[in-house]
Amino acid sequence: MQHADATIPAPLRAALENFTGGSVDAAIILGSGLGDFASRLDCQRSISTQELPGYPRSTVPGHAGKLHLCRSGNERLLLFQGRVHGYEGYTPEETILPVRIAAALGARRLLVTNAAGGLHPSFDAGDLMLIRDVLPLPVSQLLPLERLFPSEHGPRHTPLLSSSLMNTARSASDASGVALREGVYAYAAGPSYETPAEIAFYRLAGADAVGMSTVPELFAARHAGLQTLGISCITNKSVTVRQRVSHDEVTSVAARVSEDFSRLVLSILSRW
């Protein structure tokens, strides 16, 4: 690892050093049902997170719990196939561990992806959305910000998302022919899907999609100085009338759009 991070336990640091054999240039965190992207890259090594001491294990279907060391052009890429969430019982420190690992390994850029419910009336299941901004209302209460991100150790008042990487994503969308919506991603703690009242509130507040991850990772990434980009896969329409949404539906829609998602992300990687 290029620089030690006291927040990563020594046994885990040693295992990661052994796995990567050096630094990485960038990292990707894959959300629910999007893990198939790993098969589209030249991945040289893979490891189950169960083999990494102290690494939290995902309990959610669609999150395989694997790390892949891949190549994209001349870059070494660390791919996190799945994540853990606060609603699984994990602490904020555990949910942002992939970001801290990426930073400690020297990554300069991070792509965070997720499955999200569509709030904008024009969004349909299967759309891909560039995260232009976030609505992190619960985060200020759920995350112990001073403990997680001490002000003397990194920037606090910088944008969470990189404007230059957003422009890269727009260019990649044009070049690949994969349509890319844009919008505001709202963070909900979960584990239940949003109530009609919550959906109405988020819409009123200006959110276009809502999910149960990503925002804590964005806080951690910017605090570590990473250039960060976010893309949501819209897996269902969140409406203000009673509805039934299942995780199976979320992962099946994500799988259905995996070809477009992969083509877009590969186009981004070739440009960033």
Q: Among 27, 38, 55, 63, which one carries the catalytic annotation? A: 63
CB of 185 closer than 8 Å to CB of 232: yes
Give 54's contacts (C-beta < 8 A, 6+ positions apart). 9, 11, 12
The answer to whether residue 32 is catalytic is: yes
**3-state class (DSSP) for residue 227:** strand
Residue whose C-alpha is closest to residue 160's, from 119, 131, 124, 125: 131
pLDDT in tens, the chain (272 residues): 444 455 789 999 999 999 999 999 999 999 877 778 988 999 999 999 999 999 998 877 666 789 999 999 999 999 999 888 888 888 888 999 999 999 999 999 999 999 999 999 999 999 999 999 999 875 545 555 556 656 555 555 568 899 999 999 999 999 999 999 999 999 987 777 788 888 899 999 999 999 989 998 998 898 899 999 999 999 888 765 455 556 566 667 777 888 999 999 999 999 99
Please report whether residue 2 resides in a domain.
no
Q: Looking at the DSSP assignment, which residues form a beta bridge with residue 109?
A: 26, 227
Whether residue 30 lies inside any domain: the answer is yes
Residue 144 lies in a domain: yes
Residue 129 counted as domain residue = yes
Q: Assess if residue 1 is contained within a domain.
A: no
Range of the domain at 15: 10-269
d(CA 161, CA 218): 8
Packed helices 97-104 and 215-223: angle between N→C axes, nearest 10 degrees: 30
In a domain, 3, yes or no: no
CA distance 242 to 15: 47
Look at residue 155 in the predicted model and tell me its pLDDT.
54
Domain assignment of residue 233, yes or no = yes
Give me the CATH number covering residue 125: 3.40.50.1580
pLDDT of residue 2: 43
Q: How many other β-carbons are positioned within 10 Å of the β-carbon of residue 65? A: 21
Catalytic status, residue 153: no
Active site residue 88: yes
Q: Is 50 helix (H, G, I), strand (E, B) or coil?
A: helix
Structurally, how many domains does the chain consist of?
1
Residue 177's pLDDT is: 98
Q: What local confidence, expressed as pLDDT, does residue 252 receive?
A: 75
Q: What one-character DSSP code corresponds to residue 195?
A: P
The reply to whether 182 falls in a domain is yes
Catalytic residue, chosen from 236, 238, 262, 267, is 236
Is residue 171 part of the annotated active site? The answer reads no
Annotated catalytic residue 247: yes
Mark whether 115 is an active-site residue.
yes
Query: How confident is the model at residue 170, as a pLDDT?
Result: 98
Residue type, 263: R
- Nearest partner of 231 among 174, 177, 162, 175, judged by Cα: 162
